[in-house]
């Protein structure tokens, strides 16, 4: 009696447990921009389990090698898997010991291939990645989505940031932003996201990568303003409505 | 005893396994969530003297722009205007209907209409139709009780807000409002902020585009600034114009005015009812 299905089949109920159908623990938007000395990236530290805010200390930005910075939104476990792949990549590169190191362009290309090939097997890594870095004075900022869409730009955002942060960045970004201006612009975007994205939390980190290396700030929170007089008594003059 | 299952080689691509089950579910009334773009950016904000409403001017039919310069700010009363997003027929019809009801109410009471009246009439109608009247509205006006700004959703819920955005470009416009709104704006600051928010929708949302309409309502009156800003002009127009080569020769030109068939008597008897 031959078996009903060959082993590596994508059909049948067993196959569903072998591929990603939906994300479980997710991170929300990542926003990044190029500034005078390199790249600035911001992400909050929340990991949501469906509609519950389960983890509040998730670092969603990590340094890759000497020249790159990776930020991810989407499934946290897939992000950790990607970090493992990149660890192997960087280690293998270091073992050559030839004075050359993988730059952001190369890492971005590797990630694009990784995401696209997984998508073709109907088993995606459920992330939207932001890859930024600077090597030999050349700044680079790119993004890869879970289906393999990749491009590079002067400012990028994932998830809700696409709808809320990108309009602001398109209007207010310019070449050679100073560090303070860049941070102020990122904070402006993160504040709007905090107000209007339900999975955002008020605990964020800002990471900076320059020729000297990568630094990531301590977690901090943004000031929010709730004292509009219209909020205090919203139905004044419209009694009975809400 | 042969096995009824045929061995199928593994393949990728779309798996049609669930199609039969989806069809059965749809028959029972469980439909997959539908995606509807409203293709608009409409905004409103309260400034120190009243309310400013803003809207883009693009009307879409699926992927096509069917009207490049439509009017989305509808008249409700001399002191109340309403922006509409969603199905154009629904927004037009519902605002027209409530505008007429408000006028009759004004004749009945002898007073200026209040924004809450328009709000209640609209929300009762929309709730009655359980969301099938697809109209998402930003209602603003100034009455004896002061300036008011409300948003009304297709299912009939309402919000009272100092600044509001609706439509597919609402997130892009809200990003501008959330970062730049403050209380006690002057008229010019308010108009500038509204214009900026609508432009953010026009340039960052595919469902919105063309020009910016603005309407300023204060206690003294209203100012409807149609096409206040036109950031999308036609870039290349031929300066030479068009010239068509002459084909058939014109031999004779004769113009005969149409004769009147019916004589109209002015000041005749009024219609008897």
Tens digits of per-residue pLDDT, B214-261? 999 999 999 999 999 999 988 887 788 888 888 888 899 998 888 877
A226 touches chain B (CB under 8 A): no
A interface mutation test: which of B120, B161, B162, B171 has the most A CBs within 10 A?
B171
Residue A198: count of CB within 10 angstroms of its CB = 9
pLDDT over threshold 80, residue B13: no
Number of helical (H) and strand (E) elements in chain B, helices listed first: 5, 12
Cα separation, A188 vs A209, in Å, equals 20
- Taking a C-beta distance cutoff of 8 angstroms, is the pair A46, A199 a contact? yes
- Residue B186 DSSP symbol: -
A240 touches chain B (CB under 8 A): yes
In 3D space, the residue among A226, A225, A223, A242 whose CA is nearest the CA of residue A234 turns out to be A242
pLDDT over threshold 70, residue A8: no
What is the mean predicted confidence (pLDDT) over B167-179?
94
Cα separation, A222 vs A154, in Å, equals 24
Taking CA–CA distances from B47, the nearest residue in chain A reads: A230
pLDDT over threshold 50, residue A1: no
> Tokens representing B217?
């309502």
A interface mutation test: which of B120, B178, B180 has the most A CBs within 10 A?
B178
What is the mean predicted confidence (pLDDT) over B119-125?
95
> Tokens representing A63?
């340094």
The burial class, CB within 10 Å (0-12 / 13-18 / 19+), for A240 is exposed
- Residue A177 DSSP symbol: -
Identity of the residue in B148, B162, B183 whose CB atom sits nearest the CB atom of A238: B148
pLDDT over threshold 70, residue A87: yes
Q: Residue A85 has what pLDDT? A: 96
Taking CA–CA distances from B142, the nearest residue in chain A reads: A237
Out of A95-104, A125-134, B73-82, B243-252, pick the least confident: B243-252
Taking CA–CA distances from A165, the nearest residue in chain B reads: B175
Q: Residue B25 has what pLDDT? A: 85
Identity of the residue in A10, A164, A236 whose CB atom sits nearest the CB atom of B171: A164
Out of A65-69, B16-20, B102-106, B261-265, pick the least confident: B261-265
Over its C-alpha atoms, chain A yields an Rg (Å, rounded) of: 21
| Contacts with A240 from chain B: Cβ below 8 Å | 116, 120
Beta carbons of B11 and A6 less than 8 Å apart: no
What is the mean predicted confidence (pLDDT) over A210-234?
90
3-class SS of residue B68: coil
Q: Residue B8 has what pLDDT? A: 65
* Complete DSSP assignment for B16-32: GGGHHHHHHHHHTT-PP
Pairing outcome for strands B212-218 and B50-56: antiparallel
User: How far does Cα B266 stand from its chain's mean position?
Assistant: 41
Alpha helices for A12-159 (secondary structure H): 13-16, 76-96, 104-120
pTM: 0.79
3-class SS of residue A19: coil
Taking CA–CA distances from A195, the nearest residue in chain B reads: B178
Taking CA–CA distances from A3, the nearest residue in chain B reads: B7
> Tokens representing B19?
């199609």
pLDDT over threshold 60, residue A191: yes
- Taking a C-beta distance cutoff of 8 angstroms, is the pair B59, B86 a contact? no
- Residue A212 DSSP symbol: T
Q: Residue B2 has what pLDDT? A: 54
Q: How far apart are the first and last CA of chain A?
A: 69
3-class SS of residue A221: coil
Nearest chain A Cα distance for residue B11, angstroms: 7
Identity of the residue in A6, A229, A235 whose CB atom sits nearest the CB atom of B7: A6
Average pLDDT over chain B reads 87
Positions of A annotated as catalytic residues are 20
pLDDT over threshold 80, residue B27: yes
A166 touches chain B (CB under 8 A): yes
Nearest chain B Cα distance for residue A97, angstroms: 41
Pairing outcome for strands B73-77 and B135-143: unpaired
A interface mutation test: which of B3, B6, B10 has the most A CBs within 10 A?
B10
Beta bridge pairs of residue B75: B81
Positions of B annotated as catalytic residues are 40
Nearest chain A Cα distance for residue B22, angstroms: 17
What is the mean predicted confidence (pLDDT) over A108-137?
95
In 3D space, the residue among A62, A30, A32 whose CA is nearest the CA of residue A46 turns out to be A30
Beta carbons of B183 and A228 less than 8 Å apart: yes
Torsion angle defined by CA atoms of residues B201, B207, B210 and B216, in that order, rounded to the nearest 10 degrees = -50
Q: Residue B212 has what pLDDT? A: 95
Beta carbons of B162 and A2 less than 8 Å apart: no
Q: Residue A26 has what pLDDT? A: 95
pLDDT over threshold 50, residue B34: no
Spatial neighbors of B11 by CB under 8 A, at least 6 apart, are A10
pLDDT over threshold 90, residue A230: no
Cα separation, B183 vs B167, in Å, equals 24
Residues 82-111 of A with CB under 8 A from B: none
A117 touches chain B (CB under 8 A): no
Nearest chain A Cα distance for residue B97, angstroms: 21
pLDDT over threshold 90, residue A126: yes
pLDDT band at A232 (very low <50, low <70, confident <90, very high): confident
Q: Residue B21 has what pLDDT? A: 85
């Amino acid at each position: 009696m031959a078996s009903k299905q060959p082993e590596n089949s994508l059909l049948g109920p067993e196959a569903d447990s072998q591929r990603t159908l939906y994300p479980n623990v997710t991170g929300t938007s990542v926003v990044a921009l190029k500034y005078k000395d390199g790249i600035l990236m911001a992400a909050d530290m929340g990991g949501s389990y469906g509609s519950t805010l389960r983890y509040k200390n998730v670092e969603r930005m990590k340094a890759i090698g000497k020249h790159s910075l990776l930020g991810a939104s989407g499934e946290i476990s897939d992000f950790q898997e990607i970090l493992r792949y990149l660890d192997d990549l960087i280690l293998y590169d270091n073992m050559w010991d030839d004075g050359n190191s993988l730059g952001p362009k190369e890492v971005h290309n590797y990630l694009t291939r990784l995401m696209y090939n997984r998508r073709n097997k109907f088993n995606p890594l459920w992330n939207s990645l932001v890859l930024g870095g600077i090597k030999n004075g050349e700044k680079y900022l790119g993004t890869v989505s879970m289906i393999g869409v990749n491009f590079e730009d002067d400012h990028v955002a994932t998830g809700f940031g696409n709808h809320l942060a990108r309009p602001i960045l398109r209007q207010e970004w310019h070449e050679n932003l100073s560090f303070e201006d860049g941070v102020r612009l990122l904070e402006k975007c993160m504040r709007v996201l905090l107000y209007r994205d339900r999975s955002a939390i008020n605990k964020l980190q800002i990471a900076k990568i320059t020729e000297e290396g990568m630094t990531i700030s301590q977690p901090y929170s943004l000031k929010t303003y709730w004292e509009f007089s219209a909020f205090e008594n919203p139905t004044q003059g419209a009694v009975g409505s809400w | 005893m042969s096995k009824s299952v045929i061995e199928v080689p593994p393949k990728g691509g779309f798996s049609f396994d669930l199609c039969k089950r989806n069809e059965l579910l749809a028959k029972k009334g469980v439909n997959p969530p539908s995606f509807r773009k409203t293709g608009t950016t409409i905004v409103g904000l309260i400034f120190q003297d009243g309310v400013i409403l803003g809207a883009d001017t693009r009307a879409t039919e699926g992927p096509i722009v069917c009207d490049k310069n439509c009017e989305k700010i509808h008249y409700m009363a001399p002191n109340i205007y309403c922006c509409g997003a969603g199905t154009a027929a629904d927004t037009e019809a519902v605002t027209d209907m409530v505008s007429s009801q408000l006028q009759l109410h004004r004749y009945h009471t002898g007073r200026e209409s209040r924004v809450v009246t328009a709000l209640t009439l609209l929300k009762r109608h929309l709730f009655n139709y359980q969301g099938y009247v697809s109209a998402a509205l930003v209602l603003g006006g100034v009455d004896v009780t002061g300036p008011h700004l409300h948003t009304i959703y297709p299912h009939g819920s309402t919000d009272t807000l100092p600044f509001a955005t609706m439509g597919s470009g609402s997130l892009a416009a809200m990003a501008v409002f959330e970062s730049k709104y403050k209380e006690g704006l002057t008229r010019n600051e308010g108009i500038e902020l509204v214009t900026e928010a609508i432009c953010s929708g026009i340039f960052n949302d595919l469902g919105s585009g063309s020009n910016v309409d603005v309407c300023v309502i204060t206690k003294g009156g209203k100012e409807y600034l149609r096409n206040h800003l036109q950031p999308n002009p036609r870039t290349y127009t031929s300066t030479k114009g068009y010239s068509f080569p002459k084909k058939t020769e014109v031999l004779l030109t004769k113009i005969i005015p149409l004769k009147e068939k019916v004589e109209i008597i002015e000041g005749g008897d009024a219609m008897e009812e």
